[in-house]
Each structure stands twice: as C-alpha cells, then as structure tokens.
Amino acid sequence: MVERDVVIKNRAGMHARPAALLVQTANKYSSNIYFEKDSEQVNGKSIMGIITLGATYNTGLKIIADGKDEIEAVEALAGLFENKFAEE
C-alpha cells in the first residue's frame, strides 16, 4: 500500500473536469485507489465519490493505492494535482 498527501492547487477546486481526469487516470491502473479527506474515504475510480468529498482550493487529500501498480498510480494521480489539472 502506498499513500501520498496532495493539496488542491487549482482555484476552482474539485469539480467535474478534474474529477473526471482523476477517474480516467485511476482506471488505467489495476490497483485499488482511494481518496481520503479528513476521515472520509472514497473510491478513486468513482466520479461521484470524488465530487462528494466537496474538496475546495487548498484542501488536503490523501491518495491511497494498493496493488501491483500502486506506485505508478499514485505518481500519475499526484502529478495531476501538481499541474493544477491543466486549468491554470
């Protein structure tokens, strides 16, 4: 299991477009992927789960992946956060 803390850096926060990018990226990997905010954990391959976190600008999330390609999955997903989902 691999975990990594990330922060939402795009001003619009987590809305449909970044959530869709996360789900598309997560679905490229066979690992189980989760996002966690406070004590709430959601399936990283579910757009509705991600949106229901209600994550806004500067919100911290934890990416959790468990499986044979967990390291690659976490790196790819963290990259989306670092690049502000290519929105800015």
Active site residue 88: no
- Are 86 and 79 a contacting pair, CB within 8 Å? no
Give the pLDDT score at 18.
96
The model's pLDDT over 49-72, given as tens digits with 9 standing for 90+, comes to 999 999 999 999 999 999 999 999
Catalytic residue among 4, 15, 62, 84: 15
Tokens describing residue 1: 């299991």
pTM over cut 0.85: yes
Strand partners, 7: 60
Tell me the three state secondary structure of residue 66: strand
